């Protein structure tokens, strides 16, 4: 009897234990499912945040790419504009060179025409009588005392070795200019030869150069002021010449010639 009761008690304990186990399994499964759901939601939020972040980065990069493309288009347009301006400037420079060349040709033609028309400065060599007295020497030649039509004159004799075609044109131009200059403070030009011999440049004869005078004695204040004013007046006349000013470019004491005004 006791054995039967013991057996019945064990069966009841087993049934109770089995029932408790059966009741705990759903709760554990539910807990696991809840935990998994929470984990999944957390991961989903994380994935969504990461997706939003990457989407924002992609949008930023797309915006930067669009800006770069716009800048590239603008730079290409600027390059095109600069190339167009460069071409226009080159065309303008070529046109300016053509105009300048045309102007120079016209000027040379006019100068040559004027030179041929105004060669009234040419004198005959036989009218110039040279003495053996040398008044000075320079790079272009030597200056001798002589006479022209019974008047005492200074004659610059040009070296043959420097008379190239170019220098002869320069000489003719200088003679043409000198023949047009008339002023009390400029050396009076008389004429020049223009044949195949030594070129002779004839001017009035003055007594002494400023350099030679300074080597003999000092100038007083009155003389300094007077000489300075005379030189300035002569240069002013040249600089105001029309239509083109004349620049001497070689003012020195050797090129300032003097004549005696009185015996004081």
Catalytic site positions: 250
> Which helix (H) or strand (E) element contains residue 258?
strand 257-258
161-172 in b/e burial notation, b at 16+ Cβ within 10 A?
eebeeeeeeebb
The tokens of 243 are what? 């239509």
Q: How far apart (Å, rounded) are the C-alpha atoms in residues 36 and 225?
A: 118
Sequence-distant (6+) residues with CB within 8 A of 152 are: 145, 146, 205
Query: Bridge-partner residues for 129, per DSSP?
Result: 147
Q: Is 186 in contact with 234 (CB distance < 8 Å)?
A: yes
Sequence-distant (6+) residues with CB within 8 A of 130 are: 144, 146, 155, 157
> Which helix (H) or strand (E) element contains residue 113?
helix 2-117
Q: How far apart (Å, rounded) are the C-alpha atoms in residues 160 and 39?
A: 115
Task: Indicate the length of the chain as a whole number.
Answer: 264
Rg (CA), the chain: 56
Return the ∠ at Cα 156 (arms to 151 and 161), rounded to 5°: 150
């Amino acid at each position: 009897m006791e054995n039967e009761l013991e057996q019945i008690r064990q069966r009841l304990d087993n049934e109770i234990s089995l029932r408790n186990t059966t009741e705990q399994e759903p709760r554990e499964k539910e807990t696991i499912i809840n935990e998994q759901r929470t984990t999944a939601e957390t991961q989903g939020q994380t994935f969504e945040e990461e997706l939003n972040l990457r989407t924002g980065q992609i949008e930023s990069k797309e915006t930067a790419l669009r800006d770069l493309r716009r800048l590239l288009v603008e730079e290409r347009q600027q390059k095109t504009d600069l190339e167009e301006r460069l071409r226009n400037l080159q065309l303008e420079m070529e046109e300016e060179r053509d105009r300048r060349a045309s102007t120079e040709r016209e000027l040379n033609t006019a100068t040559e025409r004027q030179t041929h028309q105004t060669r009234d400065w040419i004198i005959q060599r036989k009218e110039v009588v040279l003495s053996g007295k040398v008044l000075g020497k320079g790079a272009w030649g030597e200056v001798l005392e002589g006479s022209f039509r019974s008047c005492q004159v200074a004659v610059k004799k040009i070296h043959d070795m420097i008379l190239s075609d170019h220098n002869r044109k320069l000489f003719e131009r200088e003679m043409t200019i000198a023949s047009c200059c008339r002023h009390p403070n400029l050396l009076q030009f008389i004429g020049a030869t223009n044949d195949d011999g030594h070129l002779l440049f004839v001017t009035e004869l003055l007594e002494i150069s400023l350099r030679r005078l300074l080597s003999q004695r000092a100038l007083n204040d009155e003389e300094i002021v007077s000489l300075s004013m005379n030189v300035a007046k002569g240069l002013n006349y040249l600089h105001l010449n029309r239509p083109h000013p004349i620049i001497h470019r070689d003012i020195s004491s050797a090129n300032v010639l003097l004549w005696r005004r009185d015996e004081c």
